[in-house]
A and B are shown apart, each in its own frame.
Chain A
Amino acid sequence: MKQKVKFTFPPKLVQEPVIYKLGVDFHVVTNIRRADVDDTQGWVVLELEGTQRDIKRGLDWVREKGVRVDPVSGDVVEG
């Protein structure tokens, strides 16, 4: 399956190869579409491709690292 997500990195994680590890450790193919990252903070909009299980495990790991994971289109729940 494919899933579109936005990662928001806190300052301390910007230097870590989180996206690279998603591929190597979790077999999730990543495809970056847009990004805005400098050395202190940033976000990346990307598509993930893999089995549902791998994507879930991968995203759980990413969140555990302290990266915020959101749907690409922003919050869906409105007032």
Chain B
Amino acid sequence: MAFATALRCRECSREYPLEPMNICEWCFGPCEVVYDYEAIRKQISRKSIEAGPLTVWRYRDLLPVGDGPVVDLHAGYTPLLKADNLGRMLGLDNLYLKNDCVNPTYSFKDRVVTVAATIARQMGFDTLACASTGNLAGAVAAHAAKAGMKAYVFIPADLEKVKVVGAAIYGPTVVAVNGSYDDVNRLCSEVADNYRWAFVNVNIRPYYAEGSKTLGYEVVEQLGWRAPDHAIVPVASGSLLTKVWKGMNEFKDLGLISEVKTRMHMVQPLGCSPVVTAHAEGVMSVKPVKPNTIAKSLAIGNPADGYYALKVLKESHGTATAVTDPEVIEGIHLLARTEGIFAETAAGVVISGLRKLAQSGAIGKHDLTVAYITGNGLKTQEVVEDSVKTWPVQPTLASFRHALAAHGHA
């Protein structure tokens, strides 16, 4: 049974049928999916969810797809790990990491794309498309392969090889756009207007974005049906943060949990921190910036959901923190060394942001805290290449002993 009923403009509240569109025809505001929560309430329970598959599809009643098969690579239901070592270093007793590195294509984007691919196929599209600097491209290409759909992924021509391979391997058409970031962006928004494709983050965006709610649901469920005191979320477009909050509050409204007192903390890399800047200035309109950061997965200079993310911070008494590129790298190292998780730059932003929040006292020692680790470090190895060291030795015991002594390990 499908419970989505309409699309609704977030600005003027006009409603539209569930079709591929993302912008209100009247005011050009963004559209969001509306559900029949009364009907969902009758259907859903902790039990019914717990009996579901160990993927995002255990929350199917709260996702905007119709009946029938889904495009499923097993996205979601990733581990929530108690981080005692990192917690000890930061002075936090109750720290958890939501490890979304272990999704099918190694980032949380599988959650949004499994929903987007499913609805795209149900709407009769035969082509899935996106413009991406890495994570989204891989997720789209893989899900298209699984769905038997054609795929076009647009990438900037200077993208690192490992990210190109990580998408190309699934057999999409990879279009390498020769131009500045703004050129790529402009071209892709025109392409989306001119071809009848399911462009996951353009005409399918309202459906796609709902997939991120599952990062709210899962954490609540994995904590034993309660919302954390703090959530630390990396922000690019602002969609993920907004949807984690929405997901937790839907659980409350459906009576699955009694309260949500979570403070939502946003983190961005300093070289692309338009939403953090707006928060610091106390304004609700986000001024676009030209991104300049190693955290490429967060490099959105004109974030579509920046305003809504700021609203969530207000509602939840959250904070906004920016971290420098060197701090991003420190964060990646710290996470790997304390918890054995090699995550990408977005997680470096999260961990360094978390450290600042712990130091400033914004997060208390005993508070139940969840940091979202959203992508795998194997994709951004180039940023840590220079900071890992090896010992060169000859294949002799003497040479090895010499190295031991030289490094003070003897």
Interface residues of A (CB under 8 A from B): 4, 6, 8, 33-34, 36, 41-43, 45, 47, 68, 70-79
Contacts and interface: CB of A to CB of B under 8 A. Distances in A.
B122 to A, nearest CB: 22
Interface of B: 11, 22-23, 26-30, 109, 130-136, 154, 156, 181, 184-186, 188-189, 192, 199, 201-202, 205, 236-237, 285, 287-288, 296-306, 346, 375
B28 A75 contact: no
Contacts of B287: 8, 41
* A contact face: mostly helix, strand, loop, or mixed: strand
A43 B181 CA distance: 21
A14 to B, nearest CB: 13
A4 B136 contact: no
A77 B184 contact: yes
A47 B28 CA distance: 9
Tell me which of B28, B131, B302, B346 has the highest count of chain A C-beta atoms within 10 A of its own C-beta.
B28
A71 B186 contact: yes
Contacts of A75: 185, 237, 300-304
Contact of A74 (B27, B154, B237, B298): B237
Closest 5 A/B residue pairs (Cβ)? A74-B304, A79-B297, A71-B189, A77-B131, A76-B188
A42 B130 CA distance: 30
Contacts of B26: 33
A24 B288 CA distance: 28
20 contacts: A6-B302, A8-B287, A36-B285, A45-B28, A71-B185, A73-B22, A74-B237, A76-B199, A76-B201, A76-B202, A77-B156, A77-B181, A77-B188, A77-B300, A78-B201, A79-B132, A79-B134, A79-B135, A79-B236, A79-B296
A73 B236 contact: no
B11 A78 contact: no
B29 A76 contact: no
Contacts of A77: 131-133, 154, 156, 181, 184-185, 188, 300
Given A4-B28, A8-B287, A76 B185 contact: yes
A45 B23 CA distance: 12
A15 B8 CA distance: 34
A6 B302 CA distance: 10
Tell me which of A34, A68, A74 has the highest count of chain B C-beta atoms within 10 A of its own C-beta.
A74
A79 B288 contact: no
B47 to A, nearest CB: 36
Contact of B303 (A8, A36, A42, A74): A74
A50 to B, nearest CB: 16
A39 B17 CA distance: 39
Tell me which of B156, B299, B346 has the highest count of chain A C-beta atoms within 10 A of its own C-beta.
B299
A76 B134 CA distance: 13
A73 B300 CA distance: 12
Given A33-B27, A73-B30, A75-B237, 7 more contacts: A4-B23, A71-B186, A73-B23, A76-B199, A76-B201, A79-B135, A79-B375
Given A71-B186, A76-B201, A79-B298, A43 B133 contact: no
A71 B301 CA distance: 12
B288 A70 contact: yes
Contacts of A34: 11, 27-29
Contacts of A42: 285
Nearest to A46: B28
Contacts of B301: 75
Contacts of B30: 73
Contacts of A45: 27-28
Contacts of B11: 34
A76 B189 contact: yes
Nearest to A37: B285
A74 to B, nearest CB: 3
Contacts of A76: 131, 185, 188-189, 192, 199, 201-202
